Structure 1
Amino acid sequence: MAFAEVRVEITQAEGAPSGVVWEVDARDGTSAQPEWEPELTRAAVEGATIGLQAIADMGLDVSARTIHITWVGMNVVDTEATAVRAAACAATADAFGLLDRFELSGDAQGWRCEPRRR
């Protein structure tokens, strides 16, 4: 079961809703692309959304923050959606400087990125 790598950037604009947007250059053949790997690109957006919600649930203000997915790397042969979802969640947590408050794990059911239990 292969893992994945996701890169994100955060922007903040007053009055804008928080959320996640796909901003991978369509010409970047090194990244997953919606037309080639729709399940994996959906998983990246879901993972970043999960991470953003977990950060909000920790009490941090994420209003007006947008997560921009800028690159998704994986092995097309054996990377599954759970790996991309977990990598996007971890990248989001890392972008906020909170990766140490999350735990990445994998087993027969797939990969997960979750807030650490206290």
Structure 2
Amino acid sequence: MAFAEVRVEITQAGGAPSGVIWDVDPRDGTSAQPEEEPDVARAAVEGATIGLQTIADMGLDVAAHTVRITWVGMNVVDTEASAVRAAACAATADAFGLLDLFELSGDAQGWRCEPRRR
């Protein structure tokens, strides 16, 4: 079961509600693209959204921030959606400097990115 890599940037929302935006250059052939791999793109947005919501649930005010997904890499043959979702969640946590509060794990049920148990 292969893992995935997702890159994100955090920007100020500028008065818009916080959220997640797909911002991968459509000419970037090294990244997944929604037209060719819609399930992968959807999983990346879901994972970043889960990460953002989990960070908000931890008490950090994320209302003024937008998560921009800038690149998604995976092995087309054996990477599943759960790996992309977990990678996007971890990338979001890392962009906020909070990756040490999260735990990545994978098993036969798939990959997960969750708050670290205390």
TM-score band w.r.t. shorter chain = over 0.9
**1:21 aligned partner:** 21
**1:112 aligned partner:** 112
**1:78 aligned partner:** 78
* One-letter code aligned to 1:30: T
**Residues 61-111 of structure 1 deviation map (CA, whole Å, 9 limit, x = unaligned):** 000210000000000000000000000000000000000000000000000
1:33 aligned to 2:54? no
**1:8 aligned partner:** 8
Counterpart CA distance in 2 for 1:13 and 1:99 is 22
What TM-score results when the alignment is normalised by the length of structure 2?
0.98
What TM-score results when the alignment is normalised by the length of structure 1?
0.98
Deviation at 1:14, TM superposition (A): 3.8
* One-letter code aligned to 2:9: E
Counterpart CA distance in 2 for 1:14 and 1:46 is 22
* One-letter code aligned to 1:27: R
* One-letter code aligned to 1:4: A
Deviation at 1:16, TM superposition (A): 1.4
Deviation at 1:39, TM superposition (A): 0.3
Give the 3-state SS of the residue equivalent to 2:90 in structure 1: helix
Give the 3-state SS of the residue equivalent to 2:94 in structure 1: helix
In structure 2, relative to structure 1, the CA distance for the partners of 1:57 and 1:26 (3 Å cut) is same
Runs of 4+ in 1 over 3 A off after TM superposition: none
Deviation at 1:13, TM superposition (A): 3.2
* One-letter code aligned to 1:77: V
* One-letter code aligned to 1:85: R
Give the 3-state SS of the residue equivalent to 1:104 in structure 2: strand
Give the 3-state SS of the residue equivalent to 2:105 in structure 1: strand
